Amino acid sequence: MSKPAPPSPQSKNQLHGVTLEAMLSDLVAFFGWPELGQRVPLRCFNSDPSIASSLKFLRKTPWAREKVEGLYLFVQRERGRRKRRSQAAPEQ
């Protein structure tokens, strides 16, 4: 008998399979450019923002990308919490 394959390191990575463009689009839809620019103070979010220019900057700047990824993970956790709370709340 063969052993089951060990889980890949990516199996626990919450960002695996999520493109930077998808993350940024989701954050813009959730917050809008003005609030996103306040939460992550980057010029590409505050001065004539666009997905294309922001992606170009984020791909070249690892520390800025980490901030955006962190905010995306925070938003995903909050959405999960809200969903669980709404499912746990008794119907009236």
Q: How confident is the model at residue 40 (pLDDT cuts 50, 70, 90)?
A: very high
Write down the CATH superfamily of domain 30-84. SAP domain (1.10.720.30)
Q: What is the pTM of this model?
A: 0.79
Alpha helices (H) along the chain: 20-31, 33-39, 43-46, 51-60, 62-88
Where is average pLDDT lowest: 8-12, 63-67, 74-78, 84-88?
A: 8-12
**Alpha carbons 68 and 62: distance in angstroms, whole number:** 10
Residue 81 has pLDDT above 90, yes or no: no
What 3-state class would DSSP assign to 11? helix
Q: And the tokens for 86?
A: 């709404």
Residue 80: its pLDDT value, please? 85
pLDDT of amino acid 2: 67
